[in-house]
Amino acid sequence: MQREDKQLELVLENFQSKLNEFKAQIYALIFKLEHERDNVNWTTVLDTFAVFSTQYTAIMKYLSYEKLPQLRNYSVLPLMLNPERDEDLARITENRVPALSHDIVPDFLRTKTEPEVEHKLMQVEHKAGGLQFETAQKQLAAFNKVVNHVLDLVSKAREEWEVETGARVGIGQTSSVADLHTLVSAVSMGKNLKPMVPQVSPGGMMVPPTGRPVTPSMGPNTPPMGMMPKPPPGMKTNVKAAGAPHPYR
């Protein structure tokens, strides 16, 4: 019995020190928010919250450690209620609880929900239990329908938003490698720019060929290039003879 008491004391002490540590950190954050509001950035606040979260998890883990005495098996009994201010109590609780009075004891030492709430909960549970299976199914279906509808709305909005941002960034193609190569080889080597057949009389209007000329040396993605004259026999061009017969020749 004594050993158990000692253990309990030790656990409570540990628990309290952990809680105090946690509390000090929360205080530090509040202090920071109140006094250095201008210098606080959201990332540090977020980091602090992450630390809180781990701290909380650690405490809960500590409490559920199986070798520890189950604290919930111990009861706290108010032996005496006193409306007068109790200095000791005020000091321990940092002035949050000045007196162990009739007002606060039911709230502080409560282990069950308030009777009113409990009653309401009972009512709801009773109602749920008494439901017909089919009605329940119907309501479930209706609820699912509503939720799905909301989900649709949200995903549609998200899609629109993504398309919008995509358009702003210029997701549409703005440059083409094939065009670049066409342009550069034209400017540097005169590809597709070699003069027309010299026999053409200078005054006569040129009639562009109706079929779009395709040369074997062009890639499949090359856009229409305008006119591609057949090179005169003696002229050196970049047009390479293809192995297969050309459809337009």
CA–CA gap between residue 68 and residue 60 (Å, rounded): 12
The residues, any chain, with a CB within 8 Å of residue 108's CB and separated by 6 or more, are 97
CA–CA gap between residue 247 and residue 229 (Å, rounded): 16
CB under 8 A: which stretch of 7-15, 57-65, 87-95, 221-229 binds another protein?
Answer: 221-229
- Give me the least distance between CB of 29 and another protein, in Å please: 41
Q: Fill in the DSSP letter of residue 68.
A: S
Looking at the Cβ atoms of 100 and 215, the one nearer to another protein is 215
Q: What proportions of the chain, in percent to the nearest 5, are helix, strand and coil? A: 55, 0, 45
Q: Any contact of residue 214 with another protein (CB under 8 A)?
A: no
CA–CA gap between residue 160 and residue 158 (Å, rounded): 5
x/- track of binding to another protein for residues 78-117 (CB under 8 A): ----------------------------------------
The residues, any chain, with a CB within 8 Å of residue 221's CB and separated by 6 or more, are 176, 178
Q: Any contact of residue 18 with another protein (CB under 8 A)?
A: no
Q: Any contact of residue 184 with another protein (CB under 8 A)?
A: yes
Total site size for another protein, rule CB under 8 A: 40
Q: Any contact of residue 179 with another protein (CB under 8 A)?
A: yes
Of 248, 244, 245, nearest to 230 by C-alpha is 248
Q: Any contact of residue 188 with another protein (CB under 8 A)?
A: yes
Q: Any contact of residue 225 with another protein (CB under 8 A)?
A: yes
Q: Which residues bind another protein (CB under 8 A)?
A: 169-170, 172-176, 179-196, 198, 200, 202, 206, 216-219, 223-227, 238, 240
